[in-house]
Structure 1
Amino acid sequence: MPEEATPRNILEKFVLSVSNTLERPVVWFRETVVEPNQQHSVWYHQKFRRVPTIDECYTDDAVCIAEANLQFKRDKLVDSDILSILRERYEDCALYEAPDHLEKCRPLFDQYQEATTNWFIKYGDLGGYGDAKAAYMKQKHRMIWERRHGPVGSGMNGAAPTEN
């Protein structure tokens, strides 16, 4: 707690005593109960260990595949939440800077657009039941496409062989 200045008059003394009456039990509870238990509790900010990804699993290892799918779903939730936070930041900026938000909120919008593109590259078109294997196959197909035709969205570049 910060050092408290001595009250100058009776009103400050009264306000300080009411404040201490309300604040001290809360501070005591946090310092003696909450903070010591944060280090020992497995439920407080649970951190999962990273497991092998789907490309590191053997085809008949069901446990490894299941763990990779669970990790994929956790990663998708985290990435979706990050995308939601970026969208909220841009919307708040646009609301606050209403008339000229296009210039003032441009960095936030660009960051949101890049995150949206990256999210769609990884998770887009997988559907609600998409799993780690489907995402891995999507990534593989994208890499093959880029090797043959250049970056996605740049057109065919005339690199694809045409049939007569």
Structure 2
Amino acid sequence: MDDASRGRNPLERFLNAVSNTIEGPVVWFREKIVEPNRPTYYWYHRKFRRVPTIDECYTDDSVCQFEANQQFKRDKMVDNEILNILRQRFEDCVLYEGPDAKVKCQGVLEQYKQAEENWFTKYGDLGGYGNATTAYMKQKHRMVWERRHGPVGTGMKEQVAGA
């Protein structure tokens, strides 16, 4: 044994012996009995089961609507974080590349702009208190508009005189 494990003087050796006598069985019990029989919880990657969306809930089923709203809030938080990560990637690319950033970071910027557009299509103009019902109504109104007038942003269709 080396000097670090035995102790440098008789008092330190005595204290190490007492500590090993008291602590040894506790450490053995924890390492051999408790930890092998305990399930591991990964709190940072907790997975929730998917619940029915708001369009699958009955109008009088408040529990289903509550779960759909909670799912909507979790999905929005995940989409916000994805957008933040893409934004950070673009900023890091610009910082790293310097003057060549316009050319070399173009792919990252396009990916970020596409994700930003998708986020706004789903969550934009809902406000701070938007929930699953308002997002569903926004989607429904957008689909009705596209059926009548074509894709959003292309202008309205010309009205036919005889129709």
Alignment match, 2:114: 114
Q: How many residues align?
A: 128
Partners of 1:42 and 1:96 in 2: how far apart? Answer: 34
Query: What is the deviation of 1:43?
Result: 3.2
Query: What is the deviation of 1:40?
Result: 3.1
Query: What is the deviation of 1:37?
Result: 8.9
Scaled by the length of structure 1, what TM-score is found? 0.72
- Please give the residue correspondences for 1:145-160 in structure 2 after superposition, counting only pairs within 5 Å: 145-159=145-159
Scaled by the length of structure 2, what TM-score is found? 0.73
Query: What is the deviation of 1:36?
Result: 6.5
Greater fraction of residues in helix: 2
- Residue deviations 1:111-136 (CA, integer Å, cap 9, x gap): 00000000000000000100000000
Query: What is the deviation of 1:157?
Result: 3.2
Partners of 1:109 and 1:38 in 2: how far apart? Answer: 45
Alignment match, 2:56: 56
Structure 2, gaps ≥5 residues long? 1-30
CA RMSD, Structure 1 to Structure 2 (Å): 2.2
Q: State the percentage of identical aligned residues.
A: 67
Determine whether 1:99 maps to 2:107: no
SS of alignment partner, residue 99 of structure 2? coil
Q: Is the 8 A contact 1:38 1:44 kept in 2?
A: no
Larger CA Rg, structure 1 vs 2: 2
Alignment match, 1:70: 70
Structure 1, gaps ≥5 residues long? 1-31
